[in-house]
Amino acid sequence: MAYNIELLKADIADELAKIDLVAKEFRRVEDKLDLPPDRVPNYDRGAVGYLLHNFYNGCENIFRSIARFFENDLGPSTWHKDLLKRMKMEISGYRPRVIDDELYRLLDDFRAFRHKFRHTYGFELDWEKEQIVARKLLRTKELLEIQIRAFLDQLDKIGS
């Protein structure tokens, strides 16, 4: 089992590194968040949206790796929402909780935005709603890293 835990930890570390790159790119466009809708071209809105989309994809990749390792059972129709919900649940004697309620709520905003981003045209995005989610990115990333590292520490105890 220790080998499998090491593989899971490697998968998570890889995704965290990619999320770091997304955050670095986001910092380069963060000043756009202070602009009113009429001063932000659709191209820039799309670029910010794409970074938010990528950020949540990285989070979801981490959660899918964890779910596959521990549970391996997600329904096909609502799996995005179910996956996130499961990450805030402790499964006694089996898997510790991965994220707390605060991070769950923050990530759920990103999940909902990503869904909207994927299923609409960029010029139809509501810049003010996008700004609200975007302003949460760096704080959410910080909480994610803290809570994932705590989860990884708990995995070390399981693998011992």
Q: Which range marks the domain in which residue 62 is found?
A: 2-159
Contact between 5 and 159 under an 8 Å Cβ cutoff? The reply is yes
- As a whole number of Å, the CA-based R_g of the chain is 17
| Residue 35: DSSP 8-state | S
Which pLDDT value is given to residue 145? 98
- How many CB atoms lie under 10 A from the CB of residue 28? 10
| Percent residues over pLDDT 70 in the chain | 92
Work out the angle at residue 144's Cα, subtended by the Cα atoms of residues 139 and 149, and round it to the nearest 5 degrees: 135
H or E element that contains 49: helix 42-70
**This prediction's pTM:** 0.91
Residue 107, pLDDT > 80, answer: yes
What kind and span of H or E run contains 18?
helix 2-29
Q: For residue 21, what is the DSSP state?
A: H
Tens digit of each residue's pLDDT (9 = 90 or more) over 6-59: 999 999 999 999 999 999 999 999 999 999 999 999 999 999 999 999 999 999
Indicate the DSSP class of residue 33: G
Q: Give the max Cα distance, the chain.
A: 57
| Number of domains observed in the structure of the chain | 1
Tokens of 126: 């509501």
Q: Which 8-state DSSP code applies to residue 91?
A: B
CATH number for 88: 1.20.120.580
Whether the CB-CB separation of 96 and 154 falls below 8 Å is answered with yes
Instruction: Tell me how far apart the alpha carbons of residues 64 and 96 are, in angstroms, rounded to a whole number.
Output: 15
